[in-house]
Amino acid sequence: KTGGKLYIVSAYQMPYSSRSVIRSMRDKLQETTEANMEALRERLKSEPSEVPFEAYVREKDAVELILDAADHFEVDMIVMGTKGSSGLEEVILGSNTAEVVEKAKQPVLAVPRNAFFFGFKRITFATDLAKGSSEAARRLLSLTAPFNTIVDLLNVFPEKEVAPTNGLESLSQDLKSEFESREIHTFLVANDSIQEGLVEHMTAHASEALVMLTRHRTLFQKLFDRSLTKKLTMQANLPILVLHD
């Protein structure tokens, strides 16, 4: 729908050593990485898609390779996969993804291994209504325009505080006047736990991705804390799109 192109990069790196055993491990790592990339190339070629792509394997630090490739190819978005039994916890706590989120100029979409993609028919933009939220929401609407995505503007506030109704409605009206054809909804959730409030909303409204700003780093860590794994049962399949404010 966007006429875009996909660039796939995979990095491998071994600590420098002159010992033959380390060199042998490096050669094996290179061989395995290139074999995996070739398998991915063949799989993508067999898919019924018209999206052009290029795939590269480089011996380089993973974060450095991703950032360099993003700038070199002037990409609109960086997409990173996650792995491991802890689900999306690795999105934030994993050093590579966290560092890319922190340093990249582009939006970063972190996708867990078990995520299902349905075209992002509906997504949730978590906002604290602070400075920068309006511009970030505009970027999000522009970014998702080709898919005509339904956007939920969500604010989770403490139960004993007054709901920021005016602020959220004002943001919504401004966006609707600029993006007249888009479906935009506002939601206020009273919950002392922001992460539980987010999950409550996304579960109830079948939202397919969570959109947040980089300034919410502390919230990221709370959202995917190990102690909350059982409560956040949907976290393993939750993509997160991180925008820069």
pLDDT at 124: 95
Which pLDDT tens digits describe the chain residue by residue (245 residues)?
Answer: 677 899 999 988 876 655 665 677 888 888 999 999 999 999 999 988 888 999 999 989 889 999 999 999 999 999 987 664 444 444 444 567 778 888 899 999 888 777 776 778 999 999 988 888 899 999 999 999 999 999 999 999 999 999 989 999 999 999 999 999 999 999 999 999 888 888 889 889 989 888 988 765 555 555 544 444 334 434 546 788 888 87
pTM assigned to the model: 0.81
pLDDT at 21: 56
Which domains are delineated in the chain?
1-60 (no CATH), 122-243 (3.40.50.620)
pLDDT at 233: 39
Distance CA 98, CA 136 (A): 20
pLDDT at 101: 81
- Assigned token pair, 122: 């509906």
- Ordered DSSP codes for 112-162: -TT---S--SEEEEE----TTHHHHHHHHHHHTGGGT-EEEEEEEE-TTSP
SS3 56: strand
| φ, ψ at 112 (rounded to 5°) | -75, 160
pLDDT at 240: 83
pLDDT at 225: 47
